[in-house]
Structure 1
Amino acid sequence: MEAGDLLIFNSLQPHGIRPNRSENGVRIAQYISMMPAEEDNLELRKWRINSWKNRVAPEGYAFPGDPRNWEQTKYKRAVLSNLGEKLLGLKKW
């Protein structure tokens, strides 16, 4: 890959990482997980919608969040496409 390239893959595909052996290069990774909302799981749908609506970062060890709280203070709420509304759970499939 070249600088600025983006690699997207399905996590079901075999994959792995190797050490960055460049002398002065930096490797940055951002992991994004996406799955459609479970339409019948009302509690999960409400959590997802609230998280988007109020710009609440996920919680847990793997999601430390931004200590600057830019989710709430610097950025506006994401504008969703029709597909985004379905993935979130605002609209049914």
Structure 2
Amino acid sequence: MAPDTTGFEIVKIEMDPGDLLIFNSLLAHGIRPNLSENRVRMAQYISMHPAEEDNEEERGVRIDSWRDREAPKRAAFPGDPREWEKKNAEVAELTPLGKKLLGLESWR
């Protein structure tokens, strides 16, 4: 049974392989069935919240993770046992907004 979408405009987003769509999870969304015979559809779920400026310990953990290219060390994250990012990637160059979101610069 499909949800009642009366009064809403349904927009199909055209995407190519490798494209990334970023949206707020409060946006109603769905996917069409994968009709290919032998190919999988992959998704990566990313969540983000701005750094808490008054929480120095958490800010430090976030900054270290970014600078050292290491996965967060939390129970919910298995990390990266291959250390692929650490060995193969550059430290991400942050925009002014990125610096604030990470906690490098203040929102104040």
Query: Is TM-score (shorter-chain normalized) higher than 0.5?
Result: yes
CA distance in 1, matches of 2:93, 2:21: 24
C-alpha deviation, 1:72, in angstroms: 1.1
C-alpha deviation, 1:17, in angstroms: 7.0
In structure 2, the partner of 1:37 is: 51
**Alignment pair present for 1:92 and 2:106:** yes
| Pairwise CA RMSD | 2.3
In structure 2, the partner of 1:77 is: 91
TM-score (norm 2): 0.69
CA distance in 1, matches of 2:36, 2:94: 39
TM-score (norm 1): 0.78
% same residue: 63
Work out which structure has the larger RCO, using CA pairs closer than 8 Å and 6 or more positions apart in sequence: 1
Name the count of aligned residue pairs.
93
Q: Which has the larger radius of gyration?
A: 2
Q: Deviations over 1:3-35 (max 9, x none)?
A: 435433322345567875642221101111111
Give unpaired runs (5+ residues) of structure 1: none
Q: Which runs of 4+ in 1 moved over 3 A?
A: 12-22, 59-62
